[in-house]
Amino acid sequence: MRDTIAAALTTAIKAQDKRRVPTLRLIMSAIKDRDILNRGSGKEPATNDDISSILAKMIKQREESAKLYEEGNRSELATQERAEIEIIRDFMPKQLSDAEIRHVAKQVVDEIGASGLRDMGKSMNVLKERYAGQMDFSKASSIVKEILQ
């Protein structure tokens, strides 16, 4: 993923794409920050799963910002945040739909033999392990909770 983002940045710089270049630089910066943090604690550089979680976090931040800008009648800034979200999403793995989340959550619950809410953490850990960056885990959490009740 790192190479794909770096190549996209190079292409955007050559094309003088004033919308993509700053967003791609922010992504690369966030990845390097994670690498530095990992180096300090003796871990490996950011993996693809780490990069996916960084991108998901960036999208969530921009969605919240866009919402706040709209509430403050700053539609031009909200539009800019949404444009950045679309650029970031280009590098994310395909997101699962609600129906697909429900299906894989049910599979995981059945597979690990979860029987009640006390097994929710175990179920969520398996989902996060297998589907990192592919789903909104707050939605998944509510679906798992619903299945376990």
Sketch out the chain's domains with CATH numbers.
2-89 (1.10.1510.10), 98-148 (1.10.10.410)
pLDDT computed for residue 74 by the predictor: 94
pLDDT of 44 over the 80 cut: yes
C-alpha angle 48-54-55 in degrees, rounded to nearest 5 = 90
What pLDDT does 45 receive? Answer: 86
The whole-angstrom separation of Cα 59 and Cα 54 is 9
Assess whether pLDDT exceeds 80 at residue 133.
no
Please report the sign of the dihedral spanned by the C-alpha atoms of residue 100, residue 104, residue 110, residue 116: negative
Compute the average pLDDT of residues 90-113: 86
pLDDT of 7: 95
**Tens digit of pLDDT for each residue in 10-32?**
999 999 999 999 999 999 999 99
- Average pLDDT in the chain: 88
- Give the C-alpha separation, 83 to 141, whole Å: 28
